[in-house]
Chains A and B, each alone.
Chain A
Amino acid sequence: MIEKTSFFAEPGRRAALPILVLLSLGFIAPLLAVVGFSFMPARTFGLWHEPTLENYETVFSDNTYISLFWSLGLASATVVLLALICYPVAYGLVRVFGRWSTVLTLLFTIPLVVSENIRLYGWVLFFIKGGVLPGTLRTLFGVEMGDFLFTPAAVLFGMVYVYLPFMLFPMTLGIAMVPNQMREAARDLGASRWQVFREVELPLSTPGLMIGSLLTFVLAIGAIAEAKVLGGQRIIPITHDIEIAFTYAQNWPLGAALAVLLMLVVSVLVLIVLRRFDLDQILGKR
């Protein structure tokens, strides 16, 4: 009894309780249910059958794992491209643009709250035959454009577009963590710009870079709309396989087994990266 009262006497524990209850019931429990389903016989809808490994055997014998490799490859390429695209912008937001930074940050935030399918559809209308880009090229230069839509490159393009803010904002946070005095000191001691970048700027902003890359990778591996809207189903990412198993095929256990594979990749990465960081330092220092 005394044990129990003292447990919740701590105000932090009390404040954490509501959201912990939500996440236990709405996040942990569903994921455990998915794991449970993955061991059920194919095409069953209850959790109380004899456990079996047949779904995992199906996954590896049916070449379904190929779509996992597509997803992993596209997600990695997205991360690399976004790191290169976003670094100069993030650097500018922190060090160059001054009071314009706030407005620019707001501008970069807007797409985040518009559904990705609407924005991807904008690209379809931009690239499609008779659309904005081919139409402009034809009327101004008389050039006919080759097909870009419905290719693997278009899928990658869409992913880079959709996940840009998720790389940009953590990166900005990371660069803002580098103290100005440190850079100046390095300059005063005779370091070249490149040396300052390589020896001071880059290492000290690593937490932001790592978190941005992780977030982008994890979200990109769950991408589904890009392949459907821009890829015209030329590429089947793992999420598409999972969706088909859950919906059309009505084979929940197989979908669950695929989801478990994806979850394993994601959780291993997240646990490795998040372990290293002290969140108080990243979010707290202003």
Chain B
Amino acid sequence: MSENNGSIRHILIGVWTAAVLLFVFLPSATIFLASMTSSRYFTFPISSFGLDWWSKILNSLEVRSLAYTSLSIALSVTIIAVVLGFFGALAFARYDWKGRKLYQKFILLPIFFPQSVLGLALLLWFNALGFTLSWKTAVLAHLVWIAPVVTLVMAIQVYSFDPSLEEAATDLGASRWQTFREVTLPVLMPGIFSGSLFAFLLSWGNFPLSLYTTGADNTLPKYLYAKMVAGYTPGVPVLGTISTAAAAVLLFGGYTAMLFLTRKRNAAA
């Protein structure tokens, strides 16, 4: 009786989860549909299918330069955030030091903070310092939020790291640098990998911070927002579909690559 009860419950949970997933992906599906129409305005059911807007967007020089700016920001953020996050995570989870508990909570504060307000605060601060706003100030702004996220993601990996491995290497005569390169770095590789993936994607898609801190430079999310507010153009759904699909491919690809790497390492060990 009770077993039966359990399985009905499980089915209900499954159905509910499927419904929530549908809710999560419904707008993406709508955007995809809207990108497939060849007419100027979107009406459903679609009367004339066509890929005209896709070729228009893919050949647009403006979109290419936007993608280039977004990419420059995201790559710079990734590299810097991973270095900061790597050491930040060691301090978070690996070393025992006075002030660590306080440090752990301090790292969380920028994550638990409304991003639009942070963006405006940074706008004010950069102006007070006399900085000219450009994609470089946006890198700084993104880092304030993304470096703590990467630190957390990596810290989870660091928790599962056995410190005696480092000690054993040192006891066997390895220098500090050798221990770092041969033991610490490889063991923490999955954390570094997922940390950089997150840093890149979060920066690529960020809107509230970029909005106030890029100045004259434009990123893709900022451009899309300007287009949306200005009135309808089917270019927005095309770009939206591309960014959603790219994010999905990167996430699933990254996950598969990581599975593959861990399996290879386990086989080698």
Do A26 and B143 have beta carbons less than 8 Å apart? yes
Do A280 and B114 have beta carbons less than 8 Å apart? no
Q: Name the distance in Å between B70's Cβ and chain A's nearest Cβ.
A: 10
* Chain A neighbourhood of B41, CB < 8 A: 130
CA distance A89 to B243 in the complex (A): 26
Do A117 and B42 have beta carbons less than 8 Å apart? no
Q: Name the distance in Å between B82's Cβ and chain A's nearest Cβ.
A: 12
**A156 within 8 Å of B (CB atoms):** no
* Chain B neighbourhood of A278, CB < 8 A: 101
B14 touches which of A92, A132, A228, A262 (Cβ 8 Å): A92
A117 touches which of B14, B92, B228, B252 (Cβ 8 Å): B228
Do B24 and A18 have beta carbons less than 8 Å apart? no
**B221 within 8 Å of A (CB atoms):** yes
* Chain B neighbourhood of A252, CB < 8 A: 124
Query: A126-B27, A222-B116 given as contacts; is B255 within 8 A of A106 (CB)?
Result: yes
- Majority secondary structure, A binding face: helix
Within 8 A of A (CB), among B171-229: 198, 201-202, 204-208, 212, 220-221, 224-225, 228-229
Contact with B along A16-31 (1 / 0, CB 8 A): 1111101100110111
A23 touches which of B44, B127, B144, B251 (Cβ 8 Å): B144
Most chain-B CB neighbours within 10 Å: which of A34, A47, A106, A132? A132
* Chain B neighbourhood of A263, CB < 8 A: 117
**A178 within 8 Å of B (CB atoms):** no
B45 touches which of A10, A121, A135 (Cβ 8 Å): A135
Do A113 and B204 have beta carbons less than 8 Å apart? yes
**B73 within 8 Å of A (CB atoms):** no
A132 touches which of B30, B110, B143, B221 (Cβ 8 Å): B30
Q: Name the distance in Å between A45's Cβ and chain B's nearest Cβ.
A: 8
**A242 within 8 Å of B (CB atoms):** yes
CA distance A13 to B141 in the complex (A): 24
Q: Name the distance in Å between B85's Cβ and chain A's nearest Cβ.
A: 7
Do B152 and A283 have beta carbons less than 8 Å apart? yes
Contact with A along B225-259 (1 / 0, CB 8 A): 10011000000110110011001100110010000
Q: Name the distance in Å between B194's Cβ and chain A's nearest Cβ.
A: 11
Do A115 and B30 have beta carbons less than 8 Å apart? no
* Chain B neighbourhood of A34, CB < 8 A: 120-121, 124
**A15 within 8 Å of B (CB atoms):** yes
**B79 within 8 Å of A (CB atoms):** no
Most chain-A CB neighbours within 10 Å: which of B87, B101, B118, B121? B121
Do B120 and A19 have beta carbons less than 8 Å apart? no
Contact with B along A267-286 (1 / 0, CB 8 A): 00010001100111001101
Do B88 and A27 have beta carbons less than 8 Å apart? no
* Chain A neighbourhood of B229, CB < 8 A: 228
Stretch from B15-23, B50-58, B59-67, B260-268 at the A interface: B15-23
B interface, size bucket:
35 or more
Q: Name the distance in Å between B197's Cβ and chain A's nearest Cβ.
A: 9
Query: A239-B117, A266-B112 given as contacts; is B225 within 8 A of A286 (CB)?
Result: no
Do A242 and B43 have beta carbons less than 8 Å apart? no
Do A219 and B115 have beta carbons less than 8 Å apart? yes
CA distance A97 to B148 in the complex (A): 30
**A229 within 8 Å of B (CB atoms):** yes
Do B140 and A122 have beta carbons less than 8 Å apart? no
A residues lining the B interface (CB < 8 Å) = 10-20, 22-23, 26-27, 29-31, 33-34, 37, 45, 47, 85-86, 88-89, 91-93, 96-97, 102, 104, 106-123, 125-126, 130-132, 134-136, 139, 161, 164, 193, 214-215, 218-219, 221-225, 228-229, 239, 242-243, 246, 252, 255-256, 259, 262-263, 266, 270, 274-275, 278-280, 283-284, 286
A-B contact pairs, 17 of them (CB 8 A): A12-B94, A12-B100, A22-B147, A91-B13, A108-B21, A109-B251, A114-B247, A121-B228, A122-B29, A130-B42, A132-B33, A214-B112, A223-B116, A225-B208, A259-B120, A270-B108, A270-B109
B residues lining the A interface (CB < 8 Å) = 5, 10, 12-14, 16-17, 20-21, 23-31, 33-34, 41-45, 83-85, 87-88, 90-101, 103-118, 120-125, 127-128, 140-141, 143-144, 147-148, 151-152, 155-156, 159-160, 198, 201-202, 204-208, 212, 220-221, 224-225, 228-229, 236-237, 239-240, 243-244, 247-248, 251-252, 255
The 10 closest A-B pairs by CB, nearest first: A222-B114, A122-B27, A12-B97, A12-B95, A135-B44, A16-B91, A30-B125, A113-B201, A115-B221, A15-B91
